[in-house]
Chains A and B, each alone.
Chain A
Amino acid sequence: MPTTSTRTPSARRVLVVGVLALLAVLIVATLSILVGTRQFDPATVLGAFTGTAGEEAHAIILGQRVPRTILGIVGGAALAVGGALVQAHTRNPLADPGLLGVTAGSALAVVLAISLLGVSTPAGYLWFAFAGALMGTVLVAVFGSAATRRRDAGPASLVLAGAAVSALLGAVTGVILLLDTATLDVYRFWTVGSLAGGRGFEALGVVWPFLVLGLLLALVQAPALNALALGDDIARSLGRNIAGTRMLGLAAIVLLVGGAVACIGSLGFVGLVAPHLVRRLCRDDQRALVPLSAAAGALLVLVADIVGRVVVAPNEIPVGITLGVLGGPAFLLLVVRSARRRSSRRRSATPRVTAAPRVASS
């Protein structure tokens, strides 16, 4: 079922929305640096940047809040764009990166790294997260293609292969964790997803080129995704290379999601929800949806992180949990409103008809 409409937003509208989204990200990022479990006045926060604040403020602002804010922006944006790509390629509005085996592959590789090699920091399991994401996606692509006996796996077979591969990899991960609770201790931080202490910042220093490349690939293939939304046959008739587009898409998803989960863990929900937050604004035009999803993902993660830092101060709630608690009901609301809107559109579009003659059963 295509998730897009053929209407395209005006360039001006997209520009305005884009600028507003950027502004919103900047405002929330500033808030993320100003607010935390430890309270500082704005002058002290500014002093941390100019070197006039005390050692504690300096360590907290520059050592924790700035890194976690950057991680939130980059990780949230990458996961959201990854989600938008998955939804476009599978033509499934409920798809997220987990559906294509990316997260399950990453999780298994990270668990193996923790369990067999004793790795316990994001910088340590960075490459494992990446390799696992790649492995999971390749498996899904191979099985998806094999199922259709075509070079380009169709959306349905991709989703089915993704579900099967994710279940298989998840089962192996589960067995390892069952046998090794010490690994579980380290893994649970990764699987919940957290920006605490900016501990993934070191990993970001390594993965940023992959994230940039992934984002570029996503932007480059956005026009092709618009064609893909009309169905494979129509897209092919429009001159699009389906197999090429799909492989490019998978590569972008691996780079974006693999890089993001290496830094901030397996944050659920962002890839699913963020594209839906902006879908109406850009009327499903992927050229606008991809960058706007990035902004929405960044906003989502930053807001959830700020809330998690404030509501139980002086303690914190990991951003993955806050996202689930806040994002779940918000997404349900979105789904209900969207369903009502579709139903009212359908009613207004359907010509009024007289009641059908009742057929008496004999």
Chain B
Amino acid sequence: MSRTSADHRTTRLLTALAASAATIALLAGCTSGAAADADAADGAGRTVDTILDEVTVPEQIDAVVVIEGRRDLDIALALGLPVVGFPIEEEGALELESPLADARAEAEANGATGLFIADEINIEAIAEAAPSLIISRSDDVEPIFDELSAIAPVLAIGEQDVSTWQDDLLLVGEATGTTATAEALIAEYEARVAEVSAGYADVIASKLVVPLGTDAEGSQVRPNRLLSTVLQDVGAQPSAAFAESIETGEGVEFGPEALLDAHKDADGIVALVNVADEWAATQANPLWTQLPAVAAGHVVRSDKSTHEGGPITAMHALDVVEALYATF
């Protein structure tokens, strides 16, 4: 082998190495450029303050997972967000149809699916759904905030004792660029409240009402359940038990013997009973039938699906409230 040819080969090798290095450097440069673009996109996301932390939500939201399944699901569905996963609802858990049934069915038709049993959060299932945003009640996400944040931004919202559904709707709207829709939903609710208030003004002003949970163990009234707040929104006159719960901000409970004594002042009752057997037992209870509101037929039934929710459930609760006033 001649020296010249060896030099040429060395030169070609060095040239090739230099070219390779340049190519790698160029590719590396391109990659960091892409990363910089992505960062720029993230930087352009929407940043909001939540009850837990400040969170930046990407502008483009392709998939949303909700974890609690009531207020969070209601808000996500009402805002038309692309929900891909939610907690599994048990078959036959409640006798009455859920206010979210139609909206959830539509989401399921679009590919949304139950990821885990309610209250049994499965982080792997959430990761598998590859969400671009996770929405849930703060109590549920706080203990696993870091794990969830590694999957997607976590938008923590409140619950009945922490914040109103309107606050949370506006928060999610701001974070997802759907503020206009959120405001329209609130305006729609307020218009309906005004309509019911005006339509039944005399009855609302003169009749005492109570949203009453009842079972074999007794009865209870809670001031911050969604149905309770809807009653307050339309200007309902609370019975003594309801007024006490509003005043204290806490629920009041009564044993089975106190059913008549505690609620005999109520002219109208929204009975919150979950299952058919319990409803049959309630209706067979002589203390229940002696309640003036029951004797006069001023009773409508709902269940725990109206305890918590967002705009869809609130509109449903308004229907229940209107149905009660329509009995007078």
A: residues with CB less than 8 A from B are 36-38, 55-56, 58-60, 63-65, 118-121, 124, 178-182, 185-186, 189, 194, 196-197, 199, 309, 313-316, 318
Contact = CB atoms under 8 A, between A and B. Distances in A.
Contact of B256 (A181, A185, A196): A196
B217 A189 contact: yes
Interface string B180-221: 000000000000000000000000000000000000111000
Most buried by A among B217, B256, B257: B257
Contacts of B25: none
Contact of B257 (A36, A58, A178): A36
Contacts of A55: 286, 290
Given A37-B255, A38-B257, A316-B255, A181 B93 contact: yes
Contacts of B258: 37-38, 313-315
Given A182-B93, A314-B258, A199 B274 contact: no
18 contacts: A37-B254, A56-B261, A56-B287, A63-B285, A64-B256, A64-B257, A120-B275, A121-B277, A121-B281, A178-B120, A181-B117, A181-B118, A181-B119, A189-B216, A309-B255, A309-B257, A316-B217, A316-B257
A316 B216 contact: no
Given A60-B257, A124-B277, A181-B90, A196 B218 contact: yes
A313 B256 CA distance: 11
B250 interface: no
A314 B244 CA distance: 14
A181 B287 CA distance: 29
Contact of A38 (B90, B253, B261, B277): B261
B274 A196 contact: no
Contacts of A318: 217
A118 B174 CA distance: 43
A315 B287 contact: no
A315 B255 contact: yes
Contacts of A178: 117, 120
B256 A59 contact: no
A60 B290 CA distance: 12
B260 interface: yes
B69 to A, nearest CB: 11
Given A56-B261, A182-B90, A315-B253, 18 more contacts: A36-B255, A55-B290, A118-B92, A120-B277, A121-B281, A178-B120, A179-B117, A181-B90, A182-B92, A182-B94, A182-B274, A189-B216, A196-B218, A197-B216, A197-B217, A315-B258, A316-B255, A316-B257
Given A59-B287, A180-B90, A314-B258, A185 B218 contact: no
| List of 6 A-B pairs having minimum Cβ-Cβ separation, nearest first | A316-B255, A182-B93, A59-B286, A314-B258, A120-B277, A37-B255
Most buried by A among B94, B217, B218: B217
Most buried by B among A59, A179, A186, A314: A314
A120 B257 contact: no
Nearest to A119: B277
Contact of A185 (B117, B254, B274): B274
B324 interface: no
A338 to B, nearest CB: 36
B121 interface: no
A196 B261 contact: no
Given A121-B277, A181-B93, A314-B262, A56 B254 contact: no
A51 to B, nearest CB: 14
Interface string B240-265: 00000000000001111110111000
Nearest to B275: A120
Nearest to A120: B277
Contacts of B286: 55, 58-59, 63
A199 B216 contact: yes
A348 B90 CA distance: 65
Interface in B114-130: 117-120
Contacts of A64: 256-257
A59 B120 contact: no
Contacts of B275: 118, 120, 182, 186
Contacts of B253: 315
Nearest to B241: A314
B92 A314 contact: no
B106 interface: no
A313 B255 contact: yes
Contact of B217 (A38, A118, A179, A194): A194
Contacts of B117: 178-179, 181
B272 to A, nearest CB: 13
A178 B290 CA distance: 39
Nearest to A317: B255
Nearest to B290: A55
B278 interface: yes
Contacts of A38: 257-258, 261
A185 B274 CA distance: 10
Nearest to B117: A179
A314 B254 contact: yes
B251 to A, nearest CB: 10
A56 B257 CA distance: 9
B260 A196 contact: no
A80 to B, nearest CB: 24
A197 B90 contact: no
A196 B275 CA distance: 18
A313 B254 CA distance: 7
B294 to A, nearest CB: 13
Contact of A196 (B94, B255, B278): B255
A182 B286 CA distance: 27
